[in-house]
Structure 1
């Protein structure tokens, strides 16, 4: 059973999180593509807090005794997806960075060769 106090705390925290994410997107300090998981999570938490029957139903489907434990399980699953998404993003950026460093190295070598050719002509 989810207590009324826990429901209120979850609801307020989810609303605050949602508003913070929206504000950060609006101020361009957070890109929309990276914030979609956070928006989904906060909206999901708002629904869980507003309608505690959803948590009870999820707990029953997963054979979990307490709805609060189902909410914790869903939070851990969300964290897993968030970490996986961030890992993919870091991997892509790392690959792009490596490629960029290689291209800069090749361009630097080409500039040095052109500079040496120009020096040897004099």
Structure 2
């Protein structure tokens, strides 16, 4: 069973997290997909706080005798899932970044080669005009 002070703290922290994320979404400082994880976690914690029987039942189902221990374990699990998800995203972004850097380098090399070729053609045509003028 959760102590009343623990429930109150959990509700306050959950509501603050939810309002912070919703404010950041409105300010366009965070993508909705990224913020939804935190909003959903906050909602789940509010449900666990307002209906401790749900948290107690989940704890008993998993064989955990203390509801606060279940909540801490639940949060650790969710954070591990989030870290894994973010690791995958970072890996994908690094691959895309590497690919884009390579494309930019190739484009710059092609541009330099074209500029060099244009300069050679201009010099050749200028030299040809000078010979015609003699």
Instruction: Give the TM-score normalised by the residue count of structure 2.
Output: 0.88
CA distance in 2, matches of 1:37, 1:80: 13
Q: Which has the larger radius of gyration?
A: 2
RMSD: 0.8
Structure 2 match to 1:8:
8
CA distance in 2, matches of 1:83, 1:29: 20
Deviation for aligned residue 1:6: 0.4
Structure 2 match to 1:21:
21
Structure 2 match to 1:63:
63
Structure 2 match to 1:75:
75
Structure 1 match to 2:34:
34
CA distance in 2, matches of 1:20, 1:52: 24
Structure 1 match to 2:118:
118
Deviation for aligned residue 1:21: 0.5
Runs of 5+ consecutive residues of structure 1 not aligned to the other structure: none
CA distance in 2, matches of 1:82, 1:35: 12
CA distance in 2, matches of 1:36, 1:52: 23
Runs of 5+ consecutive residues of structure 2 not aligned to the other structure: 124-134
CA distance in 2, matches of 1:33, 1:3: 33
Deviation for aligned residue 1:92: 1.6
Give the secondary structure class of the aligned counterpart of 1:29: coil
CA distance in 2, matches of 1:67, 1:60: 8
Structure 2 match to 1:89:
89
